[in-house]
Amino acid sequence: MDLSIVVPLLNEDESLPHLVEWLHRVCQGMHVEYEVLLIDDGSTDRSWEEIARLANEDARVKGIRFGRNYGKSPALNEGFRAAQGNVVITMDADLQDDPDEIPELYRMIKMEGYDLVSGWKKKRYDPITKTIPTKLFNWTTRQVSGVVLHDFNCGLKAYRKEVVKNIEVFGEMHRYIPFIAKKEGFRKIGEKVVKHHPRQYGKTKFGFSRFINGFLDLLTITYIFRFGKKPMHFFGGLGTFMFVLGFLATCWVVGEKLWFSFVLDTEAPRVAESGLFFVALVAMVIGVQLFTAGFVADLVSRNGTDRNRYRISDRVGV
pLDDT in tens, 233-244: 889 889 999 999
Q: Is residue 314 part of a domain?
A: no
* pLDDT-above-90 percentage for the chain: 49
> What predicted TM-score, i.e. pTM, was given to this entire model?
0.76
Q: Write the CA distances from 126 to 16, 73, 206, 213, integer angstroms.
A: 21, 22, 10, 20
Is residue 298 scored above 90 in pLDDT?
A: no
Domain that holds residue 253: 231-302
Residue 87 has pLDDT above 60, yes or no: yes
How far is residue 150's CA from residue 200's CA, in Å, rounded to a whole number? 25
Contact status, residue 36 vs residue 60, Cβ threshold 8 Å: yes
Give the separation between CA 109 and CA 159, rounded to whole angstroms.
Answer: 7
| Lowest-confidence pick of 201-205, 213-217, 287-291 | 201-205
In which band, very low, low, confident or very high, does the pLDDT at 317 lie, cut at 50, 70 and 90? Answer: low
Q: Let me know whether 130 and 172 are in one domain.
A: yes
123 and 50 both lie in a single domain: yes
pLDDT at 58 (0 to 100):
95
Q: Identify whether 318 is part of a domain.
A: no
Where does the pLDDT of residue 308 fall: very low under 50, low under 70, confident under 90, or very high at 90 and above?
low
pLDDT, mean of residues 140-144 = 85
In a domain, 307, yes or no: no
Is the pLDDT at 88 greater than 90, yes or no? yes
Residue 75's domain is classified under what CATH number? 3.90.550.10
Residue 149 belongs to some domain of the structure: yes
Asked if pLDDT for residue 132 goes beyond 80, the answer is: no
* DSSP conformation letters of 193-232: E--BPPP-SS-----HHHHHHHHHHHHHHHHHHHHTT-HH
Count of the separate structural domains present in the chain = 2
10-62 tens-digit pLDDT:
999 999 999 999 999 999 999 999 999 999 999 999 999 999 999 999 999 99
The pLDDT assigned to 275 comes to 80
pLDDT reported for residue 173: 84
Lowest mean pLDDT segment, chosen from 279-283, 292-296, 301-305: 301-305
Residue 309: which pLDDT band, with cuts at 50, 70 and 90?
low
How many other β-carbons are positioned within 10 Å of the β-carbon of residue 122? 11
Q: Are 63 and 52 in contact (CB under 8 A)?
A: yes
E-strand spans in 10-141? Answer: 34-40, 61-65, 87-90, 116-120
Above 80 in pLDDT, residue 315? no
Over the stretch 233-273, which tens digit does the pLDDT of each residue have? 889 889 999 999 999 998 888 888 888 777 777 776 777 77
- Do 208 and 195 belong together in one domain? yes
Amino acid at 150: H
Q: Quick one: 105 and 166 in the same domain?
A: yes
Residues contacting residue 275 through CB under 8 Å, at least 6 positions apart: none
Q: What pLDDT, on a 0 to 100 scale, did the predictor assign at position 219?
A: 79
Which pLDDT value is given to residue 277? 84
Contact 34, 1 (CB under 8 A): yes
**pLDDT at residue 210 is higher than 70:** no
Task: Spell out the residues 6+ positions from residue 38 whose beta carbon is closer than 8 angstroms to its own.
Answer: 7, 9, 16, 20, 51, 54, 61, 62, 63, 64, 93
- Rounded-to-integer distance, Cα 71 and Cα 138, Å: 20
The answer to the question of residue 274 being in a domain is yes
Residues 125 and 273 in one domain: no
- Does 208 lie in the same domain as 292? no
Identity at 133, one-letter amino acid code = P
